[in-house]
Amino acid sequence: MDNLKRALNIEVTDENGQQLKKGIQMVHDHLIKALTDHGITEIPAEGETFDPTLHQAVQTVPVQDDQKPETVVKVLQAGYQLKDRVLRPAMVVVAQ
């Protein structure tokens, strides 16, 4: 899933690249559906209050203008859970 997301973030300008990106998007969408059908969901992180049971803080940054302390400001790697069980915590940057 991580590699599919990285591939979708690449900017393409030619027709071949756009077709390839469309195929990657289709695979991504099917994988999301398969995971959801089996009860696996992505852990909400960006903009959420830091929760050590769901998030793994790998970096902290100073609080900016409109941010609250202990808020996730960036997701470096998505986390996933099966119902209420964490499969992989989200790797995040937290404002302090």
Q: pLDDT tens digit string along 74-93?
A: 999 999 999 889 999 999 99
Read off the pLDDT band of 15 (50, 70, 90). very high
Q: Mean pLDDT across the chain, nearest whole number?
A: 94
The whole-number pLDDT of residue 65 equals: 81
Structure token digits, residue 80: 């996933």
| Helix intervals (H) in 1-96 | 2-8, 15-37
Domain-by-domain residue ranges, the chain?
Answer: 1-38, 41-96
Give 32-74 pLDDT, tens digit per residue: 999 999 999 999 999 999 999 999 999 999 998 888 899 999 9
- The whole-number pLDDT of residue 55 equals 97
pLDDT of residue 8: 94
What residues have CB less than 8 Å from 53, skipping those under 6 apart? 86, 89
* Contact criterion met (CB below 8 Å) for 57 and 90: no
Q: Does domain 41-96 have CATH number 2.30.22.10?
A: yes
- Cα maximum dimension of the chain: 45
CA distance 95 to 35: 31
